[in-house]
Amino acid sequence: MLIFYVRIHARIGPVKKGVSGGDAVMSDEGDAARTARKLRASRDRWKHRSAEKQQQIRQLRVTNRDLSLSRDQWKARVKDLEEQLRALPVAPENSAADGPHVCVFFGGPMLTRSLTLLIPLSLVGD
């Protein structure tokens, strides 16, 4: 019975004399140390990624809180302005020759605008 032992190498070029070509079997201690190093590196990468994600989650929570507060403030302001508009007296349609006027308050100075600029959509087709 004839047995052939074939060793396949992935190196290119001639084998140098006196230099280990990676053929030596690594001892169990070296293999365990290498595995431990890889596991520690993997753990450290995982911890780093986890810390970055936690920081991003905290930042998004702050942004969400700020946006919610801003939205609530704007809703309250709009509600107040709508109540102010409802409280305005309705002017009769034939009060002035150039058309009726209405004062509109939008949180700044009072602006007087002519109602002739506000054309209802129902009159546009006539």
Instruction: Provide the 3-class DSSP secondary structure of residue 9.
Output: coil
pLDDT tens, residue by residue, 105-116? 556 555 555 444
pLDDT tens-digit profile of 81-111?
A: 999 999 888 765 655 555 555 555 556 555 5
Residue pair 68/38 in contact by the 8 Å Cβ criterion? no
Supply φ then ψ for residue 114, to 5 degrees.
-75, 140
* Alpha helix stretches (DSSP H) within 13-118: 28-87
